[in-house]
A and B are shown apart, each in its own frame.
Chain A
């Protein structure tokens, strides 16, 4: 059994009095892609935002329970540190429009005032863009602003940016919802390559995507974790009736 790099223990999340994530217990295995799948509004985005402590930034948000990053309680850690070790890629690509591609990739360092030598930043930029399968397309345009990039390329730039700070885990919140099928295929292919370097958690409402990309699937319904297992087993012979119904398209 793979070791768990991230563990949620009795995790609940609230917006005000609204209980959105209900006592979820989840272990994310290291070096694999775990998909969190469920119908719209089931709390999957909220759940992963508890993992990188973004949920608490909303004014009326609250959480209960614990989340462990390799045996460290992330709610006892400095949230800034948590967010550098657990990165996030969003639904809509959001590169910084005022910065060049180069600056975007090392934004995690620059914005924090970390001084990098010329060779250090050059190395980080190239390595991150290579890992994000974007290097060849932009290596001659690093000093241009990223506005000329297509949606898929912008998303890969955001992935490079997240990878540059060398996180343990990357959270993907429906990363291909805003992209066309070809760009989606690129990103899915990229994700299967990335798991050699970093553990991935992918939120998706698209069963087919979960099937193509993931190693493990967690099915979330109305804030509760209904089932978790290897994707082949969960998709062919799910143990819970709700999972079966979701896969059959009865709700979603």
Chain B
């Protein structure tokens, strides 16, 4: 009985994660392809759906705890599902942020060709996908590897920031657009961070080991 319930929860979480992934993907594509429709979809349709899913999963988790009092791995699974649910919802919020900034940017000329942002987006989305895969397959090796890639994304974001600061310094007209670009890159970096959280949760769920708040060298 408990196993069936946990499987159902995992399925629901996967559904939620897939939705979030498509939201991020759509918001970046809407930016690069200047597709207003896609961006509006993310804000007006996908986000409410994701919120509903989040509430659904939250309630389901509490019910499972109340009715089945899971222990050991079952307990860790439920607790981590709750946390991951939360993380996915925040990722969805970040996707909405990206879409809002993108709506502003696509109506105006580009500050610079979009190279780095798609790169950081690609990396963040990959981390998110791998995080989800490690959850579904309980693959702790994959989870560890995702955590290690977080520094790369941080580096990319810093690079974008430095570049945009120089643009802003040389041409004040670019400030507003640059700030939106910075916002987008920050959102993408946050998404990568949240994916790292998720991987830490997966490791705790599968192995019972906490690797949070450690520098990545100590994790080995």
Q: CB-CB < 8 A to B169: which residues of A?
A: none
> Does B69 belong to the interface (CB within 8 Å)?
yes
A6 to chain B, nearest CB (A): 24
Q: Say if the beta carbon of B66 comes within 8 Å of chain A.
A: yes
- Which residues of chain B come closer than 8 Å to A211, judged between CB atoms? 66-69
Q: Which secondary structure characterizes the binding site on chain B?
A: helix
List chain A residues, Cβ under 8 A from B136. Answer: none
Report yes or no: A232 in contact with B1, Cβ–Cβ below 8 A: no
Contacting residues, chain A, for B67 (C-beta < 8 A): 211-212, 231-232, 235
Tell me if A189 counts as interface (CB < 8 A to partner B): yes
**Min C-beta distance of A22 to chain B, whole Å:** 28
**Shortest CB–CB separation between residue B74 and chain A, in angstroms?**
13
A193-239 residues with Cβ-Cβ distance < 8 A to B are 208, 211-212, 231-232, 235-236
| In the complex, chain A residues whose CB is within 8 Å of the CB of B2 | 212
- A25 is an interface residue with CB less than 8 A from chain B: no
Counting CB contacts under 8 A, is B119 at the interface? no
Bound together, the chains give a CA A235 to CA B63 distance in angstroms of 8
Known: A189-B1, A212-B1. A232 touches B63 (CB 8 A): yes
Q: Which of B1, B62, B66 contacts A192 (CB 8 A)?
A: B1
Q: How many residues in A have their beta carbons less than 8 Å from beta carbons of B? A: 10
Cα distance A208–B65 in the bound complex, in angstroms: 10
B interface residues, tally (CB under 8 Å): 8
Q: State in angstroms the CA–CA spacing of A189 and B2 once bound together.
A: 11
- How distant is the Cα of A231 from the Cα of B1 in the complex, in angstroms? 15
Q: A192-B1, A212-B1 are in contact. Are A236 and B68 (CB under 8 A)?
A: no
Per the bound structure, the CA–CA distance linking A212 and B66 in Å amounts to 9
Contact A232 B66 (CB under 8 A): yes
User: Is there an interface contact between B69 and A208, defined as CB atoms closer than 8 Å?
Assistant: yes
A231 and B66 alpha carbons, distance in the complex (Å): 9
Provide the bound-state CA to CA distance between A188 and B67, in Å: 14
Q: Which residue of A lies closest to B60 (CB)?
A: A232
What is the bound-complex CA distance between A202 and B137, given in angstroms? 38
> B63 is contacted by which of A189, A212, A236 (Cβ under 8 Å)?
A236
Cα–Cα distance between A113 and B28 once the two chains are bound (Å):
79
- On whether the beta carbons of B1 and A236 are closer than 8 Å, the reply is no
Give A158 Cβ to nearest chain B Cβ, in Å. Answer: 23
The answer to whether residues A235 and B68 also contact, given A189-B1, A212-B1 and a CB cut-off of 8 A, is no
Interface residues of B in 66-122 (CB under 8 A from A): 66-69
In B44-75, which residues have CB < 8 Å from any A CB? 62-63, 66-69
10 pairs, CB–CB < 8 Å, chain A vs chain B: A188-B1, A192-B1, A211-B66, A211-B68, A211-B69, A212-B1, A212-B68, A231-B67, A232-B63, A236-B63
The 8 closest A-B pairs by CB, nearest first: A211-B67, A235-B66, A232-B63, A236-B66, A236-B62, A208-B69, A212-B1, A235-B67
